[in-house]
Amino acid sequence: MTASRVKWAGLAVVLLLAAYLPYMVGPFYISLATQALFFGLFALSINLISGFGGMITLGHAGLMGVAGYGLAILSVNEGWGLAAAIVGALVATVLVSAFFALLVVRTRGTYFVMVTLAEGMVIWGIALRWSELTGGENGIPGVPKPDFADAYWQFYYLVLVVVAVCTVLIALLVRSPFGLGLKGVRDAEDRLAPLGYNAAVHKLIAFTISGFFAGVAGLLLAMYNSFIGPSDVFFLASAEGLLMSILGGIGTVSGAFAGAAVVVIVTNWVSTYVDRWQTLLGVVFVLVVLFAPDGIAGAWQRHVWEPLKRRLGRGAPAPAPAAATETRPREEVRS
């Protein structure tokens, strides 16, 4: 068996397990899994620009929220049908993402982080203060789910399918020539122009696509909670998304879901035993940055996958630890 076959077999097992999950565990764990899936998609959307493009964003919950609020406003306040509201919300998200992208493409590194943070907080400000539109502090309750996904397990399957499709699309995108160009932005932005790449356009498109997927996650979030409110788009929500993506292993597809699972478990399950779970998240954040910058996926690569690959032998000769370090976000050179 070659290494790539092991990978495909592993993926098949994970998918089968995911599909079979509602037959094995009760509603509580299904709700955890549902959240891990759509937050995983959210983390993956952050990963698309932060991991593969090297641009750390701290405002993505804002984009997630544009979709969530869009759905809530159009369906609850304006009385649109669900399908039309979903389309409208996604169009709004793409437009806002493109606008935000226009503002950040000329910045890089630390400036990029600050501007995305400010962008996200503007959405939060609107969510909190423009009560007529957004319900202010009370948010908008009563966000509908599709009729066929009313029961918790039906909704789980809906989320599973949507997230799986989005994940495949993102994985294809990352492996496409466009994805390679994106890695070029991360690794050597200044060298792209002589090669005929336009880095700014690349960043713009990547940011907008990333915003779209964050929007899909936002729709699922609003449906899952039957609610959207200011705390869903707050700075800490953006930071949590980034934590998921770093914790899992930034720049990897599977890591986003691993990271999301850990954060969801801490916020939902550990929180029933420990009051200060948010402090715990912060401590995890600090520890990951200090000791495991390549996250769970990095540790997996180093300690499980690479040794396994070597043992299997017949796979491609392993360029051992490089795989883990390659995927780290680019650290800018300091003057």
Partner 1 sequence: MSTEEFQLQLLNGVTFGALLFLVASGFTLIFGLMRIVNLAQGSLYLLGGYVGLSTVRATGSFWLALLAGAAAVGLAGLIVERGLLRTVRGKPMSEILLTVGLSFIVADLALATWGGDPVTLEAPPGLDTSTGVFGITYPTFRLAVLALGAIVAIGLWYLLERTRVGAMVRAGVDDRETAAALGINVGAVFTGVFVLGALLAGLAGVVGGAYLSLFPGADAEILTYSLVVVVLGGLGSLRGAIAGSLLVALIYTFGQSLVPDLAYFVLFAPMALILIFRPQGLFGRAG
**Interacting residue ranges for partner 1, rule: CB under 8 A:** 56, 58, 102-104, 106-107, 109-111, 113-115, 117-119, 121-122, 124-126, 129-133, 234-236, 239, 242-243, 246, 275-276, 278-279, 281-286, 289-290, 293, 329, 331-332, 334
Least gap, CB of 108 to partner 1 (angstroms): 10
Which whole-number Å values give the CA distances from 112 to 143, 157, 330, in the listed order?
A: 33, 36, 13
Whichever of 13 and 289 has its CB closer to partner 1, that residue is 289
Question: What is the rounded CA–CA span in Å between residue 14 and residue 7?
Answer: 11
Whichever of 124 and 224 has its CB closer to partner 1, that residue is 124
Least gap, CB of 65 to partner 1 (angstroms): 13
Least gap, CB of 99 to partner 1 (angstroms): 9
Helix ranges, the chain (H): 3-24, 27-50, 60-72, 82-104, 109-129, 131-134, 152-175, 177-192, 199-225, 235-248, 253-268, 277-291, 295-300, 306-312, 322-326
Max CA pair span of the chain: 64
In 3D space, the residue among 127, 333, 294, 112 whose CA is nearest the CA of residue 207 turns out to be: 112
Amino acid at 123: I
173 token code pair: 């995108």
Are the beta carbons of 116 and 242 closer than 8 angstroms? no
Whichever of 22 and 229 has its CB closer to partner 1, that residue is 229
Whichever of 61 and 74 has its CB closer to partner 1, that residue is 61
Least gap, CB of 119 to partner 1 (angstroms): 8
Least gap, CB of 235 to partner 1 (angstroms): 4
Question: What is the rounded CA–CA span in Å between residue 95 and residue 333?
Answer: 33
Least gap, CB of 181 to partner 1 (angstroms): 21
Whichever of 173 and 236 has its CB closer to partner 1, that residue is 236
